Amino acid sequence: MRKTTKGALAVGAGVALLLGGAGTMAAWQLTSTAATGTVSSGEFNLATTAGATWKWGTATSATGCTATTTDFPVGAKIVPGDCVIYTQPITVTASGNRLVATLSVSAIANSGVWSGLTATSATTMDANPAVTGAGSPFTITPGTGTVNATGKVVTTIVFDPATTSSTGQNSTATLNGVTLVLKQTAPTT
């Protein structure tokens, strides 16, 4: 074989070897970003709202009371046959697609209550599709929307009209009312 032909064959083989190697080698790359978007938290609140009222009533029994529209002035004193009605509005605000909450009411002990004086509280929630239950505990389930559920705590204080002698004269009773607790519970699914 002629000399020039030998050299050309040797170079061709060397190039082939380099292409088949497993050492350092550049590789095509592609970078992409998976965006999760924004995440929002829900809302959860219980509050007493403005508009609380105190009204005189007339006792119909030891515990019964017929309300009037007459305001009960601060510091007014009650006598047998009187009753007083205290109404406090409340609002429950809740949002969260899987949120489930309960609203429970518990009484707080009173002090200084004299014989013939009774104080009772009742909590009611206004009609709302996200609120169920006839009384404590209520269940709040906002679903996909935001709940602004309203209700009220009504405290009725009755001085038994059949009270005799001087029972309760110049006495003061402290009515501590109730505690409302709004609490998230575990979702069912």
Looking at residue 147, its amino acid is V
**Which two tokens mark 166?**
């001087």
Q: Is 172 in the site for another protein (CB under 8 A)?
A: yes
Q: Which long-range contacts (CB under 8 A, 24 or more apart) does 161-164 make?
A: 161/59, 161/61, 161/62, 161/80, 161/81, 162/62, 162/80, 162/116, 163/80, 163/115, 163/116
The answer to whether the CB of 177 falls within 8 A of the CB of 121 is yes
Stretch binding another protein (CB under 8 A), from 9-17, 30-38, 71-79, 129-137: 71-79
Stretch binding another protein (CB under 8 A), from 28-36, 128-136, 137-145, 159-167: 159-167
| Contact track, another protein, 85-124, x by CB under 8 A | -x-x-x----------x------x-----x--x-x-x---
Residues that bind another protein (CB under 8 A): 27, 44-48, 56-59, 68, 70, 75-82, 84, 86, 88, 90, 101, 108, 114, 117, 119, 121, 153, 155, 157, 159, 161, 166, 168-186
